[in-house]
Structure 1
Amino acid sequence: MPSPDTIERTDPAAALDAELNVPYVLIVWDDPVNLMSYVSYVFQSYFGYSRARADQLMMQVHQQGRAIVATGALEKIEADVAAMHGYGLQATFKRADQA
């Protein structure tokens, strides 16, 4: 047990490393604009999902209002969100442990 005079120091670089190594998830949200076939096409063309997997995710978006379509490092997921916005889809991200 540390004495009351002991001060614990945390390394800011180590804390940042730990924060960046937490996986993040990409969430695509349902919207009234895009056709279901288009959403499936985006999942196939951008993520490389099979038609069956893309259709499954698209149906989850349609029926449940959202689907987690990718998981990865923060920088990758941020780029994926920007790509989804480029395709006209509503997408956000959050830490995997908070999804």
Structure 2
Amino acid sequence: MSNHYQPVLSTAGAETLPDLDQLLDADTFTAPDVPWHVLVWNDPVNLMSYVSYVFRSYFGYDRAQAEKLMMTVHTEGKATVFTGSKEEAERHTSALHTWGLWATFERAES
């Protein structure tokens, strides 16, 4: 099924929209209550102390939680630092980029 808008001309020549249900593809539609994860990835640039500092400064994590997440990034290659709505995940990912961290977001597994 194509998600491209295809105008349909009525007999009067006026353009009408196709049925909304036909436009929504089950593979691309995301229910608003589906959580998303923000992942921070290990990189060869940032010091571990800086990554911990970002987690404390940006997210407000206490020292112990920030250090734990930083060590997960360092030892496992990535860590989930936030779970929430898609809009929040996009915003946090973008913000982490401004701090110089490698971050992505993904839909949480069901």
Alignment TM-score > 0.5, same fold: yes
Aligned to 2:79: 67
For residue 80 of structure 1, the aligned residue among 67, 92, 95 is 92
How many angstroms apart in 2 are the aligned matches of 1:17 and 1:24?
10
Q: Structure 1: state its 5+ residue gaps.
A: 1-9
Aligned to 1:44: 56
How many angstroms apart in 2 are the aligned matches of 1:67 and 1:11?
38
What's the CA shift for 1:17?
6.6
More helix by share: 1
How many angstroms apart in 2 are the aligned matches of 1:58 and 1:52?
10
From the superposition, tell whether residues 17 and 31 of structure 1 become closer, same or farther in structure 2 (CA, over 3 Å): closer
Q: Structure 2: state its 5+ residue gaps.
A: 1-20
Q: Which runs of 4+ in 1 moved over 4 A?
A: 10-13
**Matched residue count:** 88
Aligned to 1:96: 108
What's the CA shift for 1:97?
1.0
From the superposition, tell whether residues 57 and 21 of structure 1 become closer, same or farther in structure 2 (CA, over 3 Å): same
What's the CA shift for 1:21?
2.0
Percent identity over the alignment is 55
More contact order relative to length (CA 8 Å, sep ≥ 6): 1
Superposed CA RMSD: 2.2
**What is the identity, as a one-letter code, of the residue corresponding to 1:75?**
E
What's the CA shift for 1:95?
0.6
**What is the identity, as a one-letter code, of the residue corresponding to 2:63?**
R
Q: TM-score, normalised by structure 2?
A: 0.73
Aligned to 2:43: 31
* Larger Rg over CA atoms: 2
